[in-house]
Amino acid sequence: CLWETKGMARNITNAEFQEILKCRGSPAYFLNAYGFIRDPIRGKIPFKLYRYQEITFAQFLKNSFNLILKSRQMGLSWLVAGYALWLCLFFEEKKVLMISIKDATAKALLKKVRYIYSYLPDFLKAELIDDNMSKMSFVTGSEIESVPTSEEAGRSESLSLLIIDEAAFVRWIEDIWQASFPTLSTGGSAIILSTPNGMDNFYYDLWSKAIEGKSLFNPIRIHWWYHPERDERWLNIQKANMSSLQLAQEVYGDFVASGNLVFDVAALRSLQDECSMIMPIETLFLDEHDQDFPCGQYIFEKPRPKVDYILSVDPAKGGAADYHAAHILERHTGKQVAEYRTRIPLDLFHHRILQLGSEYNNANAAIENNNMGIATNLFFRNQDYPNIYEYTSPLKSTQRELGFPTNSLTRPLLIEELDTSIREGVSGVQGIRTVNELLNFCWSKSGKPEAQSGKHDDLVIALGNGRYVRQHSISEVDFPVILS
């Protein structure tokens, strides 16, 4: 039969035509059947996709914007190279731009595309009309360009697919994304992949928003153990030859190393994986005041009759960048059943959390009483809320104060309680936003546990307050104090 596509027509067999149709319908079939890659040890080998690579391909076809957090050497560069080639061989007028951290890396990525192309049978090859170190242009009108990062990369390009490799290390990535997105939003796709590189960068912010469901990106996590040739023996070899920072970032795919993080990094890694799969059963959109964080309230479990709950509240300190934060914890188990973080005006926040506490069987309201928290405690009292927490200092056992003070005396205690619960796997956390803040909670140079610069710890402090109150409510006979 005659195969015709833009700029070319040639005779092929019916069997070859059927293969073209199969390849066009599935990049996984295309590479499994006809792809070859170069292995550093074994040389040229067939590109037989592992299960996690096939699943990743399925995600590419299902979602236009994909964000990949991966361990090192998982074959993802070959995968995106193969995907770019598939798109340009079987579809007309496709423009693919691949951006890497430097010129040598950009050339190496395109070299992978060219390697796969070179070993294809002739009936699958669209003719190349331009082939150089940075670009492959096909007679179909499609092209693949691979460039190093620059302030102008991606600008004024009409793109079908944008690939940014090792994005956490790419300079000007925020400028590149902002320039590229308008050309992608009308039908293009993006694949941004990287190993982590700390938390103070655009890639980390993208990932955090993606796993919270706050962006267009579909988050894809590629763990080291997904690779069938890697086991505990392989891991032990990596441990023996890497620093803790290298191991955390390149093998475990963690954004921080355990030496800087307040809480146990392995426990948080497990908690993050677990919570990323938990979807709230209800979210609440408040009003026009909450544009920055429209779904401030997440409900994981509805209130149950005759169950005691704690409402732990950390009002914002008053700055424009601060959040109000609150949790509902089941007192008996410590499980987080609701999570709330917002920047709405304080008076609206008061009414919202009052309603929230009331819905959860008049939950014991443990409200931080520093700064704006004084007004929040007084609001609850003036509204005759029947279950407000009063704090008794161990140094002044005869004196009580309305609310919970977070100060130099209580802060180490609540951090210790929170650390123990996380390490022992009994924190009860279900909200991925809370986990993200826990991953930002580090030791400062002065030795103070706090959020990294530019990050937030409102949900962390509210959770610590709630768990401290819960722990002491179990052991103290005179708790809770009911105010009328």
- The DSSP result for 20-57, as a single string, is HHHHHH-HHHHHHHH-EEEETTTEEEE----HHHHHHH
What value does the mean pLDDT take over residues 308-323?
Answer: 84
Q: 322: pLDDT confidence band, cut at 50, 70 and 90? A: confident
| pLDDT single digits (tens) 170-190 | 999 999 999 888 888 778 999
Percent of the chain with pLDDT over 90: 61
pLDDT of amino acid 392 = 79
- CATH 3.30.420.240 domain residues, the chain: 282-475
Q: Using an 8 Å Cβ cutoff, are 312 and 465 in contact?
A: yes
Residue tagged 């008794």 (tokens): 392
pLDDT of amino acid 345 = 86
pLDDT of amino acid 261 = 84
* 367 Cβ contact list (under 8 Å, min separation 6): 311, 313, 315, 373, 376, 377, 380, 388, 389, 403, 404
| pLDDT single digits (tens) 215-255 | 899 999 999 999 999 999 999 999 999 887 788 888 988 88
What's the gap between Cα 224 and its chain centre? Answer: 17
**d(C-alpha 111, C-alpha 354), whole Å:** 61
**d(C-alpha 133, C-alpha 40), whole Å:** 21
pLDDT of amino acid 397 = 61
> Phi/psi of residue 282, each to 5°?
-155, 135
Q: 56: pLDDT confidence band, cut at 50, 70 and 90? A: very high
pLDDT of amino acid 401 = 83
Whether 258 has a pLDDT exceeding 70, the answer reads no
CATH number assigned to the domain covering 282-475: 3.30.420.240
Q: 257: pLDDT confidence band, cut at 50, 70 and 90? A: low
What value does the mean pLDDT take over residues 97-114?
Answer: 95
pLDDT of amino acid 446 = 83
E-strand spans in 64-182? 65-70, 95-100, 128-131, 135-138, 143-148, 161-165
Instruction: Using CA atoms of 66, 260, 268, 279 in order, give the dihedral in degrees to the nearest 10.
Output: -40
Q: Degrees (nearest 5) of the Cα angle 411, 367, 483?
A: 125
CATH number assigned to the domain covering 2-227: 3.40.50.300
Element (H, E) at 398: strand 396-402
What 3-state class would DSSP assign to 411? helix
pLDDT of amino acid 370 = 84
- CATH 3.40.50.300 domain residues, the chain: 2-227
Whether 404 has a pLDDT exceeding 60, the answer reads yes
pLDDT of amino acid 10 = 63
Most confident segment among 89-103, 200-214, 310-324:
89-103
Whether 211 has a pLDDT exceeding 50, the answer reads yes
> How much is the mean pLDDT over the chain?
88
Token digits of residue 467 = 């768990």
| pLDDT single digits (tens) 323-374 | 899 999 999 999 999 999 988 888 989 999 999 999 999 999 999 988 889 9
pLDDT of amino acid 13 = 87
**d(C-alpha 399, C-alpha 469), whole Å:** 17
Percent of the chain with pLDDT over 70: 90
**d(C-alpha 11, C-alpha 254), whole Å:** 52
Whether 421 has a pLDDT exceeding 80, the answer reads yes
| pLDDT single digits (tens) 430-467 | 999 999 899 889 888 888 898 887 788 999 999 999 99
**d(C-alpha 456, C-alpha 450), whole Å:** 8
Residue tagged 């009994």 (tokens): 426
pLDDT of amino acid 438 = 93
**d(C-alpha 59, C-alpha 54), whole Å:** 9
> The whole model's pTM is what?
0.77
Q: 483: pLDDT confidence band, cut at 50, 70 and 90? A: very low
pLDDT of amino acid 354 = 96
pLDDT of amino acid 424 = 92
pLDDT of amino acid 374 = 92
Least confident of 82-86, 160-164, 249-253, 428-432: 249-253
Whether 389 has a pLDDT exceeding 80, the answer reads yes
| pLDDT single digits (tens) 326-339 | 999 999 999 999 99
pLDDT of amino acid 22 = 96
Instruction: Using CA atoms of 229, 231, 233, 234 in order, give the dihedral in degrees to the nearest 10.
Output: 60
Q: How many CB atoms lie within 10 A of CB 425?
A: 12
